[in-house]
Chains A and B, each alone.
Chain A
Amino acid sequence: MIEFLKQGLILSGAIFMFLASLGLLRLPDLLTRMHATTKAATLGATLIMLAVALHFTQVAFVARAFGVIIFIMMTAPVAAHVIGRAGYFVGSKLWSGTVKDELRPNYDPLTHELKSGLDTEANARCKPKPGEGDTH
């Protein structure tokens, strides 16, 4: 029973990791790529570490496996947030089919100043066209 559970966990973890890499290769821009990799890879590593926790019966090793799970679950969103923020600041291009970029009307890339959404409600209502808003 535990053997079957273990096999299922290992296999599904590997499949999730494969899907993450497929998403990283196929999706069009930085943010969609991060959307694919962060969640799927975290889930894959979590499932495999659950299988490890089922495999080793000593408390110390189970605790270590759960430590890895908790650490990955805590750090993966932080790392993704930091990289996405840096990517936006650096000015990586969004996909041409992006519907809405809510940061663009409110954010000044030169001074790193972020206005409130209420100040620029009129801006936020009209859809930003590509190329518009780059005043510098």
Chain B
Amino acid sequence: MTSVILLSLVLMTLALCLVFARLFIGPSLPDRVVALELFSSMIVGIIGVVAIATDVPSLLDVAIVMALMAFMAAIGFARFLERGGPRDD
């Protein structure tokens, strides 16, 4: 069990690094918003794995809040893009 958890955490950390690369180079703002969205849903997964590894069930509340914040952030960014705020891509 420990090795599986370690392996999945390593995989997800690598995935976070790849997403960060896209967040860094992403040519336009919508690409970066998509990267942030993926970031947050990946963090929900990592919180789930950590909750299993440490046997702390209250981390699930953190996962719920994380998913909710991600949704709100996506909606807010999309409104901002459609209204045409100042951007520098």
Measuring CB to CB, which residues of chain A are less than 8 angstroms from any residue of chain B?
3, 6-7, 10-11, 13-15, 17-18, 20-22, 24-25, 30, 33-34, 37-38, 41-42, 44-45, 48-49, 51-52, 55-56, 58, 61, 64-65, 67-68, 71-72, 75-76, 78-80, 82-83, 85-87, 89-90, 92
Q: Which residues of B contact A10 (CB under 8 A)?
A: 4-5, 8, 49, 52
B6 to chain A, nearest CB (A): 11
Cβ 8 A contact of B82, one of A45, A51, A61, A86 = A86
14 chain-A/chain-B pairs, Cβ below 8 angstroms = A7-B4, A10-B5, A10-B52, A14-B49, A18-B11, A22-B15, A30-B28, A33-B22, A37-B34, A37-B37, A42-B41, A44-B45, A68-B60, A83-B33
B32 to chain A, nearest CB (A): 10
B71 to chain A, nearest CB (A): 4
Q: Which residues of A contact B12 (CB under 8 A)?
A: 14, 17-18
Q: How far is the CA of A13 from the CA of B68 in the complex (A)?
A: 20
Q: Which residues of A contact B33 (CB under 8 A)?
A: 83
A21-B68 contact in complex given A10-B5, A52-B60, C-beta closer than 8 Å? no
Q: Which residues of B contact A6 (CB under 8 A)?
A: 1, 52
A30 to chain B, nearest CB (A): 5
CB neighbors of A among B25-45 (8 A):
28-31, 33-35, 37-38, 41-42, 44-45
Q: Which residues of B contact A87 (CB under 8 A)?
A: 28, 30, 81
Cβ–Cβ contact A72 & B11, under 8 A: no
Q: How far is the CA of A38 from the CA of B70 in the complex (A)?
A: 13
A47 to chain B, nearest CB (A): 8
Q: Which residues of B contact A64 (CB under 8 A)?
A: 57, 60-61, 64
Q: Which residues of B contact A38 (CB under 8 A)?
A: 37
A65-B4 contact in complex given A75-B67, A90-B30, C-beta closer than 8 Å? no
Cβ 8 A contact of A48, one of B45, B77, B84 = B45
Q: Which residues of A contact B22 (CB under 8 A)?
A: 21, 24-25, 33
Cβ–Cβ contact B21 & A25, under 8 A: yes
